[in-house]
Amino acid sequence: MNAFGALDWTGLAVWVLAWLGYSLYAERLGKPQANLMASVARFRRIWMREAYLRDPRMTDVALLGNLMHSATFFSSTTLLVLGASFALLGTIERGTEILEVMKTLPFATRVSQELLESKVVLLTLLFVYAFMRFTWSLRQFNLLNIMLGAFPASRDGHEVDEALVATAGRLNELAGLNFTQGLRAYYYAVPMLLWLVNAWLLIGGAVGVTAVLYYMEFRSATVRALGTG
């Protein structure tokens, strides 16, 4: 990290603040507003109540299977990305060819082996974080499957177990939240990739990705459609 210049540190600080700041806003501060996460969370809670009342629950099992398939896909993809990152680190250490290629890219600034290795290491750590989020989401969906199996088969003459329904709904929300956080890490990996070329691209990419995420999760037609549901 000693290879970082002032502009690299500035860009990295902007990137971290953009990622953490937007995550805090989207998950906590922005909750009173109509947004994608809050709208979907409401439907997740409704789904668990309907699943409790529905018998048989083949539809719910199929829906959970689809969600688990998405989490599994991204977990596997992230492992492939991590493998490619380690391979890239090995390539940087073995020769200077990649450094020469980097120097020929448009807008490329100073390039050194230590600087490039440091950037790739940080990018690798980002995908490790994404992998942990996706696998934790997958595990939460597995736990939700177990809860779904614990729902009583017959409810004639019995009151709805509100505590069980609320717990299942909350677990469904948490699984979706972790999946979203993993996806968000993918979005913020784009500025990190641009950083391999130029620190200014890291800054611009961080601001651009944050703006795009804000639009999609707070101002898009999808949010408006869900808000009327």
Rounded to two decimals, what is the model's pTM?
0.88
Most confident of 5-9, 131-135, 147-151, 216-220: 131-135
Calpha distance 84→129 (Å, rounded): 16
Q: What is the DSSP letter of 32?
A: T
Calpha distance 62→142 (Å, rounded): 13
133 assigned to some structural domain: yes
Nearest-5° Cα angle at 99, 93 to 105: 150
Calpha distance 52→122 (Å, rounded): 44
* Model confidence at 157: pLDDT above 80: no
Share of the chain above pLDDT 90, in %: 55
Say what the pLDDT of residue 4 is.
Answer: 78
Q: What is the mean pLDDT of residues 84-105?
A: 69
123 assigned to some structural domain: yes
Q: What range defines the domain where residue 119 resides?
A: 6-227
Q: What is the mean pLDDT of residues 188-213?
A: 93
Residue type, 193: L
Which of 176, 182, 180, 108 has the alpha carbon at shortest distance from 140?
A: 176
193 assigned to some structural domain: yes
Lowest mean pLDDT among 70-74, 90-94, 170-174, 189-193: 90-94
Q: What is the mean pLDDT of residues 47-70?
A: 90
User: Is the backbone peptide bond immediately before 56 cis, with ω within 30 degrees of 0?
Assistant: yes
Number of domains observed in the structure of the chain: 1
1 assigned to some structural domain: no
Q: DSSP labels for 50-115?
A: HHHH-SS-HHHHHHHHHHHHHHHHHHHHHHHHHHHHHHHHHHHHH-SHHHHHHHHSTT-----HHH
23 assigned to some structural domain: yes
Say what the pLDDT of residue 152 is.
Answer: 86
SS3 of the chain: helix, strand, coil, percent, to 5: 80, 0, 20
